Amino acid sequence: MGKILVIGSLNMDMVIKVSNTPKPGETVMGKSIQYIPGGKGANQAYAAAKLGGDVAMIGAVGKDDHGDLLVNNLLDVGVDTCGIKKADMNTGLAVIYVNKAGENCIVVLAGANDTVNKAQIDELHSYIEDSEWIILQMEIPKKTVEYVIKKAASLNKKIILNPAPAPENFPDELFGMLEIITPNETELEKLTKMHVNSMDEITLAAKELNKKGVSQVIVTCGKNGALLFNSKGKFQYSAPKVTAVDTTAAGDTFTAALAVALSENKTMREAIRFANKAASISVTRSGAQSSIPSKEEVN
């Protein structure tokens, strides 16, 4: 099995359940509050390990209780956390509203995540060398993400970019260094500046990213499953029908599950099916890491 390295964010999620998310100027009453381990990077590392992968993570937390809790949660599922440094800043925090339809809106305060820099990546160069798959998102500084992509590509590593939150401008030269990109519809729209209001429009936008050089463009489409666009054309994969209570970390679970299946030499079709199932289970439960299923559950 190929090793998976996740380089990215760790956040403590402050999750507030509401009936409806507030509009600008509106005050609404919350129903409950919970603190749950999250952060796109940590969610992906946690999910990849829980789903059977051989996983290490590079990132940063603060010297505080939240930081300890986040690292311990990753250790519990067997993630190698030696690459997570302790910075003189608060651990990242995400404020998440979840409405009665299970939809969320999220505000992230990066905190220690902002300290993940080139020097840390260079110090941990051997982690990149030893891995087959490198997973990245966009909650650490963009220049660090770009640096990792160039470094990993020069070492012929397979790079998966989950472009969340979607960057304003992403250098065109980097697309050709990505094996896989996994945007949701909103992120695809922002990355391509194209409309994505129908499957035909999503296909055209995915084709655009493939033309820019990404080998496998996989768009996660919520309850409609996933769309793959590669040199052979377009393929659609439906997701199991479930009742969603909280969609937080569904995309993270999808990206991680995909990487695990591919690291086990599964075909792309098998990997997307596995990822669709894992993400579908995650939306039936509350929270980020608290919602992520094990490999046994998915199988």
Active-site annotation, residues: 252
Residues 76-95 that bind ligand RIB (CB under 6 A): 94
Is residue 202 involved in binding ligand RIB (CB under 6 A)?
no
Nearest distance, CB of residue 127 and ligand RIB, angstroms: 22
Is there a cis peptide before residue 165, judged by omega within 30 degrees of 0? yes
Q: Which of 139, 187, 189, 246 binds ligand RIB (CB under 6 A)?
A: 139
Closer residue to ligand RIB, CB minimum distance, 177 or 250:
250
Is residue 13 involved in binding ligand RIB (CB under 6 A)?
yes
Closer residue to ligand RIB, CB minimum distance, 162 or 210:
162
Nearest distance, CB of residue 125 and ligand RIB, angstroms: 26
Is residue 38 involved in binding ligand RIB (CB under 6 A)?
yes
Return the half-sphere exposure (C-beta side, CA atoms, 13 A cut-off) of residue 102.
20
Closer residue to ligand RIB, CB minimum distance, 40 or 157:
40
Closer residue to ligand RIB, CB minimum distance, 248 or 263:
248
Nearest distance, CB of residue 92 and ligand RIB, angstroms: 7
CA–CA distance, 25 with 191 (Å, rounded to integer): 30
Residues 94-113 that bind ligand RIB (CB under 6 A): 94, 106, 108
Is residue 39 involved in binding ligand RIB (CB under 6 A)?
yes
Residue 181 to residues 174, 175, 251, 285: CA-CA distances in angstroms? 11, 9, 12, 26
Is residue 189 involved in binding ligand RIB (CB under 6 A)?
no
Residue 170 to residues 118, 145, 147: CA-CA distances in angstroms? 18, 10, 13
73 backbone φψ class: left, alpha, beta (φ>0; ψ -120 to 50): alpha
Q: Assess contact for 9 and 59: CB atoms under 8 A.
A: yes
Q: Which of 58, 249, 271, 281 binds ligand RIB (CB under 6 A)?
A: 249
CA–CA distance, 45 with 134 (Å, rounded to integer): 11
Is residue 67 involved in binding ligand RIB (CB under 6 A)?
no
Residue 256's Cβ-count burial label (10 Å; 0-12, 13-18, 19+) is buried
What is the gyration radius of the CA atoms in the chain, in angstroms?
Answer: 18
Is residue 288 involved in binding ligand RIB (CB under 6 A)?
yes
Closer residue to ligand RIB, CB minimum distance, 38 or 83:
38
* Interacting span for ligand RIB (CB under 6 A) from 36-44, 60-68, 119-127, 215-223: 36-44
Q: Which long-range contacts (CB under 8 A, 24 or more apart) does 117-125 make?
A: 117/141, 117/144, 118/143, 118/144, 118/147, 120/58, 120/60, 120/83, 120/85, 121/7, 121/58, 121/147, 121/148, 121/151, 124/58, 124/83, 125/151
Residue ranges in contact with ligand RIB by CB under 6 A: 9, 11, 13, 38-40, 43, 94, 106, 108, 139, 248-249, 251-252, 288
